[in-house]
């Protein structure tokens, strides 16, 4: 080969080969940095999820403790007070029909024991996973309906798939927060909850006929809904809120199964 051709080739090669090696090295470094960043974001998301899950469990138990305290004061305390009066009547010989009074007292004690067993289950967050989301919501609304003049309605659209237990617990807490906001602020008389197990994910709609609020100006409502949004986001879901003064409020969530 003529030296006139060989020299330019050598010069070009001496320039292109380092450039090519530089490109390959830069590409590998950028790829590894992206991979490390992706892994760090994934670990951060997992940590956030676990943190919110633990917080949810604690909040559910705290709310259950408040319910237990009120239940003991309002129901079990009254039952036991009645039992005490019956025993005083029996011991003092003041009962007109002692046999019937003994039967009534036994029934009252049995009722109190059943209530205490039910309350002990409520304190365990795993109980929610055991009985399922639907039954947990029915018990929650039944309890709330006892102390508030609100009619609750729950509809379930069955499907082939279910949420994992930890996501059911998060959804239950979201529903609790929503119902708490309704009781505190909405002045509603009717609340409807629709649960749907759709092919592409789980959905829940909570709608009330209360006074609603201005979504642009009601800062208190925004703060109250922040926890719900965080829980939905950490499950890669979506939360949509529709409300206006005098038109009630609708909260719709959609969550993937995994």
Say which CATH number the domain at 179 has.
Answer: 3.30.565.10
- In this prediction, residue 153 carries a pLDDT of 95
- pLDDT value of residue 147: 76
As a whole number, the mean pLDDT across the chain is 78
Let me know if residue 93 belongs to a domain. no
Query: For the whole prediction, is pTM greater than 0.75?
Result: no
Q: Containing domain of residue 140, as a range?
A: 133-258
- Residue with the larger pLDDT of the pair 84 and 76: 84
Which span out of 74-83, 91-100, 206-215 was modeled with the highest average pLDDT?
206-215
Q: Is residue 228 part of a domain?
A: yes
Higher pLDDT, 171 or 128: 171
115, 75 Cβ separation under 8 angstroms: yes
What's the CA gap between 52 and 230, in Å, rounded? 8
**In terms of Cα–Cα distance, which of 154, 126, 1, 9 is closest to 64?**
126
Q: Does 162 map to a domain?
A: yes
Q: Is 209 a domain residue?
A: yes
User: Edge-to-edge strand order for the sheet containing 190-198?
Assistant: 151-157, 190-198, 201-208, 249-255, 238-243
Say which residue, 43 or 107, is predicted with more confidence: 107
What is the tally of structural domains in the chain? 1
- What are residue 157's DSSP bridge partners? 196
Query: What average pLDDT does range 63-82 have in this prediction?
Result: 64
DSSP annotation string for 9-29 = HHHHHHHHHHHHHHHHHHHHH
Does residue 148 form part of some domain? Answer: yes
Tokens of 188: 């509603």
Which of 103-107, 175-179, 200-204, 230-234 has the largest mean confidence?
A: 200-204
Q: What is the pLDDT of residue 204?
A: 96
* pLDDT exceeds cutoff 80 at 76: no
User: Is the confidence at residue 248, as pLDDT, over 90?
Assistant: yes
pLDDT range class, residue 146, cuts 50, 70, 90: confident
CA dihedral sign, ordered 62, 63, 67, 73: positive
- Is 215 part of any domain? yes
pLDDT at res. 251: 95
The helix or strand, by DSSP H or E, that contains position 6, with its residue range, turns out to be helix 3-71
Domain contains 247: yes
Q: Tell whether 17 is covered by a domain.
A: no
């Amino acid at each position: 080969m003529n030296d006139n051709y060989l020299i330019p080739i050598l010069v070009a090669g001496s320039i292109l080969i380092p450039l090519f090696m530089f490109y390959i090295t830069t590409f590998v470094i950028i790829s590894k940095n992206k991979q490390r960043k992706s892994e760090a974001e994934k670990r951060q998301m997992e940590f956030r999820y676990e943190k919110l899950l633990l917080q949810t469990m604690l909040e559910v138990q705290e709310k259950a403790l408040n319910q237990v305290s009120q239940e003991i004061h309002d129901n079990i305390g009254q039952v036991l007070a009645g039992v005490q009066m019956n025993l005083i009547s029996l011991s003092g010989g003041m009962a007109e029909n002692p046999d019937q009074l003994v039967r009534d007292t036994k029934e009252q004690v049995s009722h109190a024991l059943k209530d205490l067993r039910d309350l002990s289950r409520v304190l365990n967050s795993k109980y929610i996973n055991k009985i399922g989301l639907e039954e947990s919501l029915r018990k929650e609304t039944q309890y709330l309906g006892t102390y508030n003049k609100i009619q609750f309605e729950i509809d379930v659209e069955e499907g082939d798939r279910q949420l994992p237990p930890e996501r059911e617990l998060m959804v239950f807490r979201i529903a609790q927060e929503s119902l708490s906001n309704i009781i505190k602020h909405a002045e509603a008389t009717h609340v409807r909850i629709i649960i749907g197990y759709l092919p592409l994910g789980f959905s829940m709609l909570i709608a009330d006929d209360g006074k609603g609020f201005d979504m642009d100006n009601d800062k208190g409502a925004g703060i109250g809904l922040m926890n719900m949004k965080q829980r939905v986001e950490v499950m890669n879901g979506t939360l949509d809120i529709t409300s206006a003064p005098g038109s009630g409020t609708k909260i719709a969530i959609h969550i993937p199964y995994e």
